[in-house]
Structure 1
Amino acid sequence: MEADVFASIVLMKKLSSKLMQEIKDFKILLRNIPSLTVSLFILSVVCANLMANKELVNFKYIALDCGFTFSWLMFLCMDIICKRWGAKASIKVSILALAVNLSVCLIFALLSKAPGMWGEFYTTENQEVNRALNATFGGSWYVVLGSALAFITSSIINALLNTAIGSSLKKNNFFSFALRSYVSTAIAQFADNFIFATVVSKIFFGWSWTQVIVCSAIGAFFELLCEVVFSGLGWKVVRQWEKENVGNEYLEYQKKQA
């Protein structure tokens, strides 16, 4: 009995020590990543989630929502963070972005229940407009669940793939950056779309598996295309960070912990 209690105490101390170490690691990481990058990343996640409520293109096997106009920025931010600080750093910032997004969704849901009219109501004097806006900003639990599950899964896939491909490349040039970014983004974007379409569109709206797969692939293609267009900018940002030794404190801390 005493041995079990002692083992439990030792385990709790180890877990507590590990938790404190991770918190310290996260604090140092946030001090080292430029605030504009973190802000754009979190903003793109929140905006993509909100604008996913509005469709951009909708045919039988082609469906794009307005959220895709922000999703490429999410993955570009993840790619440049991976390039400079590694997969672990990218995943941690993704968890932060998810936490902020879920908090915003909760606040929106609560405020949508508040009494009062939206400004657009006074333009039309139509109660349906007010209800529609409340429903849009309030969101549905299954949409939030599907979005959160898709985002965190694709973030982990993107980070691990990006870093794995990068570690196998010897040269530090744009081609290497583009290769690791395009491959990881294409696969992770497909996973993101596939998970969301399965959890939300198939289960709750009756999509066929053909629709799920084709729409996921088409969405991933257009999202990847956007990143291809702006990847040059991402490369320039990373190169500037390297020249100015941005984030060296975190890199040195990681070496000491290894």
Structure 2
Amino acid sequence: MITLLSDFGLQDAYVAVMRGVIASIAPGKPTCDLTHQIPPQDILAARFNLMMAYPHFPEGTVHLAVVDPGVGSNRRAIALQYPNGFLVGPDNGLLGDLFAAHLAPSITAVSLTNAQYWRVNRPSHTFHGRDIFAPAAAHLANGVPITALGDRIDLDTLVQPNLPPFRLVNSQSTAQRSRQYAGSLQYIDRFGNLISNIPGQAVSGQSWQVELKTAHRRIDFTGVKTYADVPIGSLCAVIGGHGWLEIACNCGSAAKALEGMAEVGTLLSLTFCD
């Protein structure tokens, strides 16, 4: 199977062109659209949607992701092989941190430098999705070894997303309730949920709260299990189905309620309550 994700939308034929290239090289391989409604050039939105989706696909799936504002520049075109499948896309932060550090030994990364597996020897300067990425995905789906597509590269050279990372602040503490974590908002979904990069596992069954920090204000949100645990229209913090902590509004939009105060990159802290 080959999945496709892009910021191309559906008004134009760009997605169909990539599908046509894939079908020409790998006829009969099933395809699935993750989404083509990523906001234009929004690498972080593409990263989150890919990160949320790829673990749920069958072994051997090839995930093609094209959100590529640097197309035609010196940014690398890359492919990664992990134990259950492949990722193909630009090296611009979209793919750089999708795997935990302990998985690094099981991942192979290459730069797509072998023109034998491009659509044409001289690819367009503005449409690598058609000329480099889609062909690479199709060849991988056909069983071509990833190392045939180009030179190996080190994982630690991949471009990382432009996002304040999740981290343990007071690492000297051994008591769970005394620990404090810092993170940031990584994505806002269509419901207006403000999704952080703080993993739900960090909560570990404790009572907790999240503090949102802006230049002029700090707001606390008590952690609950479901949206319905607070009155309709009220804000709360929950662990979303994607596994990350999010700030939400029961039957409403947290993004609208906090307009001007919260955006991707806004800092958060997680603390535990006695």
Tell me which interval the TM-score lies in, with the shorter structure as reference length: under 0.3
Larger relative helix fraction:
1
Determine which structure has more spread, i.e. the larger CA radius of gyration. Answer: 1
Q: Which of 1 and 2 has higher RCO (CA within 8 Å, sep 6+)?
A: 1
Give TM-score scaled by structure 2 length. Answer: 0.23
